Amino acid sequence: MLLREQNVCLNVGEMAPEFSLPDENGNIVMLSDYRGRKNVVLALHPGELTTGCKDHFRFYADNLSVFEELNSQVIALNMAPIESNRLWAEEIGDLGFPVLSDFAPLGDATLKYDCIVPNEGYGKRAIFVIDKIGVIRYIEVLKSKGEGCPNMDRVIETLRALQ
């Protein structure tokens, strides 16, 4: 399925771009860390802690046991500094998944996933399901700021198909 109409040039069936980014504690996390072991649910955020972003983070935390049952690792990627991500995680509560900083250089990984809002300097809220081999199996770009959470049924359906 081509997603150009969603302003995403990556497509289901393509290899997911590699990244190597610090989490909220400064530990480096790479997509390839999970290759051959777990599927990855990659949640991209614009970089500002809005109510929608808090809801998005809580959505993944609240559904963490479902993702774990489906042998999947949730990773949030945010265009904010490490310290901001650490404060977010503390404010929201125990998330149970890493929040990666795509701040230096700003938006480098977000750009690889083609989720930068043109001429605005921030990222889109999006979700990518990446299989154990590193292939993108599902993409959902949330169209508006008020649309805080992905279609969980479709995400679970995709992850179940990977079992």
Q: Are 14 and 92 in contact (CB under 8 A)?
A: no
Exposed (0-12), middle (13-18) or buried (19+): which is 6, by Cβ within 10 Å?
middle
Exposed (0-12), middle (13-18) or buried (19+): which is 21, by Cβ within 10 Å?
buried
> CA angle 20-40-8, nearest 5°?
80
Of 9, 53, 115, 149, the catalytic one is: 53
Separation of CA 21 from chain center = 13
Which residues is 130 bridged to in the sheet?
40, 136
- Residue 53 bears catalytic tag: yes
Radius of gyration of the chain (CA): 14
Q: Are 34 and 40 in contact (CB under 8 A)?
A: yes
Report d(CA 37, CA 41) in Å as an integer. Answer: 13
The residues that are catalytic are: 53
